[in-house]
Amino acid sequence: MPGLSLLGNTATNYPDKYAPQVLETFPNKHPDNEYLVTFHCPEFTSLCPKTGQPDFAKIVISYIPRERMVESKSLKLYLFSFRNHGDFHEDCVNIIMKDLVALMDPRYLEVKGIFTPRGGIAIHPFANYADDEHRDMARSRMLASFPES
């Protein structure tokens, strides 16, 4: 496919610092359909910006594409680039969301981080984006992500 340099490339270079430039897209063959694409990334790691200790998470990314879609190998390398990146959990989730929105201009996109507890506290940040047509959906998804007490 034109424009995809990572897919099928056996000489993969793994980034050792935050690298949004590795993200690649391809044309959505069904832009007239609204459908959901979900990625489960169970091995996300980043670093605590204060202690340098590793943080581990499952990242779940769901989106309704418009014209462009993210290529999965580039997404894997992008998420891997957080391995030595020092940011709080909430920052990582918001950075991922903003980078993917800028890359694809989706109809709707959400990112949830399910971080492993450290120090007795688990943090599960959720961030989403919606175009004008999907604002109600974004609000209802945000409200639905609140844990029940």
Active site residues: 48, 55
Nearest to 85 by CA among 125, 41, 52: 52
SS3 label, residue 101: helix
CB crowding 8-27: b at 16 or more within 10 Å, else e: eeeeeeebeebbeebbbbee
Specify the amino acid at residue 137: M
Q: Alpha helix (H) ranges present in the chain?
A: 72-80, 89-104, 135-144
Separation between Cα atoms, residue 92 and residue 49, nearest integer Å: 11
